[in-house]
Amino acid sequence: MSSIRFLWILMVSLTTSCALSQSHKLSAYDVLMEYRFPVGLLPKGAIGYSLNRDNSDFDIESYMLKYKSTITGVISKGRLYNLKGVTVKILLLWLNIIEVSRQGNNIYFSIRITSAYFGVENFLESP
């Protein structure tokens, strides 16, 4: 199960900047906290993202070459869903993580056939 956390940390290394309609720019960490996710989901030094507040699409550009360079999904309070570009190796298979949700003090990572959860305390700090 630690491979899920490892993958999640790797895939959210951000490289793009965002222009929000607000007068000031929020950091990627601020956006995660606004949607009730801990900042530890992103690595230290994350600098960019794209968030469309009209439809809640949340795009993360990654420079880790082993994974897709663009991670996309929809973000809402306590939930990232319709994720694309995020995979986890389970046994010999690479499977897509399709949803991440926060329920109480746990973060759930879902693939089509199962899910795993970890305590939110594992994600309070960026690596």
CATH number at residue 66: 2.30.240
Q: Where are the beta strands (DSSP E) in 1-127?
A: 50-52, 57-61, 70-76, 79-84, 87-90, 93-96, 99-103, 106-110, 115-119
Residue with tokens 């995660």: 32
| pLDDT at residue 14, rounded to an integer | 29
Q: What is the pLDDT of residues 67-86, one digit of tens each?
A: 466 888 999 999 999 999 88
For 60, the domain range is: 2-123
Q: For the whole prediction, is pTM greater than 0.85? A: no
Q: Which two tokens stand for residue 73?
A: 């999904």
Residue 51 is predicted with a pLDDT of: 78
Asked if residue 19 has pLDDT above 60, the reply is no
Number of domains in the chain: 1
